[in-house]
Structure 1
Amino acid sequence: MDCYKLRRLLNKEEGPKLDFKEELNLSTESEKKELTKDVIAMANSRGGRGYILLGIEDKTKKILGIDPKGYKEEQIQQIIYNRCDPPVPISVDFVEIEGKTVGVITVYRSSHKPHQMIQNGAFYVRRGSTTDIARRSEIANLFQENGLMTYETVILKNVGMEELDFGLIKDYFTTLNVFSDNPSDLILEALGIIGQKSETEGYSPTIGGLLLFGKNPSLYLPHVYIKVVCNGETRIFCGNILKMLDDASGYMRSIIKVEGYPFNALEEVIANALVHRDYLDVTRGIVITVKDKNIEVSNPGALIANNSVYSFSRENNPDRRNPWLYQRLLTLDSKRRFMKSGLGMKRVKKAFAEIGPVKFINIGSQNLFKVLLPVEPKQGSNTYANS
């Protein structure tokens, strides 16, 4: 950390990865816990390194300075180590600026999330510039993103087996070269499609099983839908993932009347939204908004912690939020609409090259990923059909 980097941080506002403090008192246990909470929250939040600047007035960003003798790096590291599981890597620097000394605690990007306060068992995240206790869905998301749990194989114990379409399951087995009119429960359980809570209970579908083979998953997972908004009209598409993809894609083809429009690329964007969305976010579904100049596909689920838009578009095997779903959809979908690598973004951009630029927008603070696709209306005619 040097004066130039410090000034760049001071030009920013407080947020998930930046906090200003006038001073840091570490004489009591409660003060030590407050520091640990802030460090845990930054480490658990999406993005790269976080910074806590000491000796800065938090509202005005006025440089007040601190006495560096009262801040020993070893002491601060020990405080974090004794109260955080697993420990978060940090460093402490002191920078001279405008005749005063500013302390900088750097919270390094962690590959061992989620981090937890040992003393009370709580997980913390940053909401804007505020440290807060993580909600249940946020904790589950942290575990899922870091490979510690698989959301898709959670058993829906209150859902009966009759909610599965066994015709679809039979088709899936056929693609695996397994021919059976009535696959055994043990095989279905081994594949993660069904499960049982205990040996005395019957079988129930898993979340993934319902998403892929359910007759009407939205009855039990009401946030699983695609909403298309065009010309003031709204259409909602429900069903298993492939049905939603087929229905929404067919509708988009019926309303967009642009000669030579790359519908296959649009369909790939919708497919990627379905397989990469955050199914733990129960507050919203996928929304496609058709406007005069662009089509916006808004997907609940920012890129997971180890990816950025840049890296995701270039890596052959980027980290994925729902690997269980992704692997099975590659086999299930005969139309091969689910991208095989991060190069899918490049394919979409190339497909729209003659129409206009494609924008990928990752909004970590809102847990959203948006794709903006250009639309080129035919001269002298309406772009969209009356629906």
Structure 2
Amino acid sequence: MVDTESDRVERKQSFKGDAPAKAREAVCAFANDLAGHGVPGVVFVGVHDNGTPMPDFEVSDELLRQLADIKTDGNIVPPPTLLVEKRQLQGNEVAVITVWSCDTPPVRYKGRIHVRWGPRRGLATAQDERILNERRRHQDRPFDVQPMRDAELTDLDRLRFEQEYLPALVARDVLEANERSYEQKLAATKMVLSDKEPTPTVLGLLVIGKLPSDWLPGAYAQFLRLAGNDLTASVLDEEPIHGTVADQIRRLEEKLSAHNQRRVRFSDVDTEDRREAYPLDALRQLVRNALMHRSYEATNTPVRVYWFDDRIEIHNPGGPFGSVTPENFGQPGITDYRNPNLAEALRALGYVQRFGAGIAIARKALGQRLQFEVQAGVVAAIIQGKPS
């Protein structure tokens, strides 16, 4: 507390005069974390510059409210992540603002970027701003390779990784010559953040996780076969399908195959003619497309496959992404990837042969029977049954 030479501590004797503005500048600087500490900065109110508390300083509810307003009054953007508390220091009350570094710097207070160099605070130089912009670009990785901070290495299935995923991704002779540790192999394939910080990523949990939906609540699929043409009809078959994305694909395809009635024609033909109600390869493409392109972020909604008497509906949570819009959805050559690393993993596992070809393959097989309903938060593929 008495160390005044710190770039992670700011002290104010009160919250009057120019102190509110100076405190906001300090919060902005801590959120930018130019030095890259990766640990919170702290603003003390009711403390001398030498670290000793102000005698008889009162931390009122009104003061705590004013400090909390630093986050919400719109002057600091993006809004900082902070915590306001009343604490005791040497028998005296002090107010404490704890500020975490921002994942998407630079942070600005009233349009200006504030940073700290050691104990000093000031406006960012052009070089400082370049560093913060590069840090933001690094942090702006796709969601599928973001770390799941509370997950642990034991939440990943090592046997599946070493016997199923790695052999599909890496040539056998390269694997045999590879002397990397387990953690290094996980990091190289983006299953964990790094070998020094082996926190599982979203990709790791989706591809080799033991129970992915424990960490990503919507990361499962739901199959429903109904004896009718709407959701009020009797249920013939229902199953929530959990597991890795590959597990979900396999189980959904088993369900689709089991319910895909085959008609056999003997009359008027030289050899028997076997026909499926729906072309199974087209259904596979649509299911795989849904699981690959869906949003796994901030949603509890699964991929839903509804099989009615007259149609099949495949609902994909997330809607169009990037360069894909409701207007150009499905057009040849128009594609973008919400989960680019998951797409690459599915390609390695053999579930994707050519990127961007899934819808084209399905349309070729189904023609006018395939339609899409595209909204901001969901895409529904609707496949009409053949007329009797």
Shorter-chain TM-score category?
A: 0.5 to 0.7
Matches of 1:343 and 1:254, distance apart in 2? 25
User: Per-residue deviation at 1:276?
Assistant: 0.3
Question: C-alpha offsets along residues 353-383 of structure 1, whole Å, 9 cap, x if unaligned?
Answer: 3xx521012101xx10110012237x5xxxx
Is 1:237–2:241 an aligned residue pair? yes
Match in the other structure for 2:230: none
Is 1:279–2:296 an aligned residue pair? yes
Which residue of 146, 151, 156 corresponds with 1:154?
Answer: 146
Match in the other structure for 1:30: none
* SS of residue in 1 equivalent to 2:315: strand
Evaluate the alpha carbon distance shift between residue 162 and residue 183 of structure 1 in structure 2; reply closer, same or farther with a 3 A threshold: farther
* SS of residue in 2 equivalent to 1:179: helix
Evaluate the alpha carbon distance shift between residue 182 and residue 291 of structure 1 in structure 2; reply closer, same or farther with a 3 A threshold: farther
* SS of residue in 2 equivalent to 1:227: strand
Structure 2 residue identity aligned to 1:262: P
* SS of residue in 2 equivalent to 1:223: coil
Structure 2 contact 157–209 (Cα < 8 Å) conserved: yes
Runs (4+) of structure 1 exceeding 4 A deviation are: 83-86, 116-121, 180-183
Match in the other structure for 1:294: 311
Structure 2 residue identity aligned to 1:273: A
Structure 1 residue identity aligned to 2:192: I
Q: After the TM superposition, which residues 317-332 of structure 1 pair with which residues of structure 2 at under 5 Å, given as runs? A: 318-332=335-349
Which residue of 190, 203, 210 corresponds with 2:205?
Answer: 210
Matches of 1:289 and 1:118, distance apart in 2? 50
TM-score (norm 1): 0.54
User: Per-residue deviation at 1:120?
Assistant: 9.5
Matches of 1:302 and 1:308, distance apart in 2? 9
Match in the other structure for 1:168: 160
Which residue of 352, 369, 374 corresponds with 2:379?
Answer: 369
Q: How many residue pairs get matched? A: 238
Is 1:358–2:342 an aligned residue pair? no
Which has the greater radius of gyration? 2
* SS of residue in 2 equivalent to 1:320: coil
Structure 2 contact 216–296 (Cα < 8 Å) conserved: no
Question: C-alpha offsets along residues 180-215 of structure 1, whole Å, 9 cap, x if unaligned?
Answer: 598521232132111259x5xx62321101101112
Evaluate the alpha carbon distance shift between residue 343 and residue 310 of structure 1 in structure 2; reply closer, same or farther with a 3 A threshold: farther
Evaluate the alpha carbon distance shift between residue 342 and residue 223 of structure 1 in structure 2; reply closer, same or farther with a 3 A threshold: same
Q: Gaps spanning 5+ residues in structure 1: where?
A: 1-82, 87-112, 122-143, 380-387
* SS of residue in 2 equivalent to 1:194: coil
Structure 1 residue identity aligned to 2:224: V
Question: C-alpha offsets along residues 260-313 of structure 1, whole Å, 9 cap, x if unaligned?
Answer: 231111011010111100111322111111112111101101111421356453
Which residue of 192, 195, 203 corresponds with 1:194?
Answer: 192
Evaluate the alpha carbon distance shift between residue 118 and residue 321 of structure 1 in structure 2; reply closer, same or farther with a 3 A threshold: farther
* SS of residue in 2 equivalent to 1:371: strand
Matches of 2:246 and 2:223, distance apart in 1? 16
Q: After the TM superposition, which residues 45-124 of structure 1 pair with which residues of structure 2 at under 5 Å, given as runs? A: 119=110
Evaluate the alpha carbon distance shift between residue 339 and residue 274 of structure 1 in structure 2; reply closer, same or farther with a 3 A threshold: farther
TM-score (norm 2): 0.54
Match in the other structure for 2:88: none
User: Per-residue deviation at 1:223?
Assistant: 1.2
Matches of 1:183 and 1:242, distance apart in 2? 26
